[in-house]
Amino acid sequence: ASTWSNVPQGPPDAILGITEAYKADSFSEKINLGVGAYRDDKGKPYVLPSVRTAEEKVISSQMDKEYAGITGVPAFTKAAAVLAYGADSAVIKEDRVAITQSISGTGALRIGGAFLERFYPHGKSIYIPTPSWANHKAVFGDSGLEVKQYKYYNKDTIGLDFDGMVADLKAAPNKSIILLHACAHNPTGIDPTPEQWQQISQVVKEKEHYPFFDMAYQGFASGDTDRDAYPVRLFIEQGHGLILSQSFAKNMGLYGERVGAFSIACESTEEKKRLDSQIKILVRPLYSNPPVHGARIASTILNDPALNKQWLGEVKGMADRIIEMRALLKKNLEELGSKQNWDHITNQIGMFAYTGLKAEQMDKLAKEHSVYATKDGRISVAGITSGNVKRLAESIFKITG
Ligand code: PMP
């Protein structure tokens, strides 16, 4: 028998299955709302003009292709930290952020998982929201942490189960690790309000929990990178130590370039130095050092004042288009005479809308209307355009009444 004859067939990735079904559909007006990537109003992938310009600068500067250091391109990580924590942040001013470039957001989460598994001095469980991005469980589980959950989504209100969340955070053992989506919660699109964040910060403090922020959509939610970083900055102000994962996949459209950062807000520069040394020891046997091209693009955008300004405008443009499509979808449903309340479509924020549609309804959407999205009722609002929103609303109306 072959060495691998005992390897079982694994289940296909849920999202890839949707893409395949979408591709196999010959209907010319089919709609793909499965993918978590931005599309322009023609439904096409979008390369930000600021990214094109930055890339041309990088190429024309004829840099060499030598290895970066283990922690990546320093000009990039320095600017990424400022983008996240804010230039006025105490952790930036006092030089106490340990940071490394990462293989986008996923890679940052994985470094975080490995770091916690190796060094966290308390219970090695991480609490993630119910639901959460499906990969969280896999990333932290594969890192050797025990993955537990706290309440987040209330299916009756299609909103946040704030009381349930707080109760679960209180019920968790002291000093637990808590994974928080900084903004544009995936898959629900439901974020706590600033007041709720303040209460969450309080509870996390009382319980001496350790916060781990996943910020995969900074700027992409509200259109404003400072506003979207609110919870991270609030927690810093409130004196929490924390871990942060950053991705530039969405806000710079650098998906396949894999640009991200992993950081730990430390208590002192001395602590930062110790943690930095261990992050290097951890990363070295994983992949030695990260790719340079995407980080050079991001660094050029973050460090060139004119390009940075242009980029912020383009991020806002993407966020605004998504917000507009939410409003249009809701308006179309109401104009069709839908008796249901669709306020959650516009109350939610970021790439995804959690429609509240059930698995059977999602099946019908695909089979009868050629509208493809995940069974949990999540639709990628980025896949909606002014050209397909009417047919999408009609399809949803037909299956919900
Ligand atoms: N966290 C969340 C919540 C996400 O939605 C994503 C992207 N789907 C990521 C992390 C990581 O994405 P990437 O590795 O492409 O940066």
Pocket of ligand 1 (CB under 6 A): 36, 104-106, 133, 181, 186, 214, 216, 247, 249, 260
Residue closest to 182 by CA, chosen among 147, 145, 226: 226
* Residues of the chain under the 50 pLDDT cut: none
Quick check: is 320 catalytic? no
Closest ligand 1 atom, residue 255 Cα: 15
How many residues are present in the chain?
401
**Quick one: pLDDT at residue 13?**
81
For residue 289, the SS3 value is coil
| Gap between the Cα atoms of 282 and 110, Å rounded | 11
pLDDT for res 282: 98
**Residue indicated by tokens 């987040």:** 152
Q: Which of 106, 136, 228 to mutate to test the pocket of ligand 1 (most atoms within 8 A of CB)?
A: 106
- The residue annotated as part of the active site, out of 161, 191, 214, 376, is 214
Q: What is the 246 CA–ligand 1 centroid distance (Å)?
A: 9
Answer yes or no: are the C-beta atoms of 63 and 210 closer than 8 Å: no
Per residue in 203-226, pLDDT tens?
999 999 999 999 999 999 999 999
ipTM for this model:
0.99
Query: What pLDDT is attached to residue 35?
Result: 83
The full DSSP string for 42-87 is: TS-B---HHHHHHHHHHHHTT---PPPBTTB-HHHHHHHHHHHH-T
Distance 357 CA to ligand 1 centre (A): 23
Q: How many helices (H) and strands (E) does the chain have?
A: 16, 13
**pLDDT on residue 401:** 73
Closest Cα to atom 7, ligand 1: which residue?
Answer: 216
Asked if 214 is an active-site residue, the reply is: yes
Task: Decide if 175 is catalytic.
Answer: no
Return d(Cα 371, Cα 367) in angstroms, integer.
8
Which bin fits 62, alpha (ψ -120 to 50), beta or left (φ > 0)? left
- Beta partners for 129? 150
Q: How far apart are CA 220 and CA 228, in angstroms?
A: 8
Distance 123 CA to ligand 1 centre (A): 25
**Which of 30, 148, 250, 330 is the catalytic position?**
250
CA of residue 255 to ligand 1 center, whole Å: 9
Q: Are strands 210-215 and 242-247 parallel, antiparallel or unpaired?
A: parallel
All residues at 6 or more sequence positions from 377 whose CB lies less than 8 Å from its CB, including other chains = 354, 355, 356, 357, 358, 359, 361, 362
Among 247, 259, 380, residue to substitute to test ligand 1 (most atoms within 8 Å of Cβ): 247
Interatomic CA distance for residues 161 and 151, integer angstroms: 7
Phi-psi region of 374 (alpha: psi -120 to 50; beta: other; left: phi over 0): beta
For residue 45, whether the previous peptide bond is cis, meaning omega lies within 30 degrees of 0, is no
Tens digit of pLDDT for each residue in 141-174?
A: 999 999 999 999 999 999 999 999 999 999 999 9
In angstroms, the CA 184 to CA 17 distance is 24
**Listed residue (283, 259, 293, 227) closest to 106, CA to CA:** 259
**188 contacts 356 by C-beta, under 8 angstroms:** no
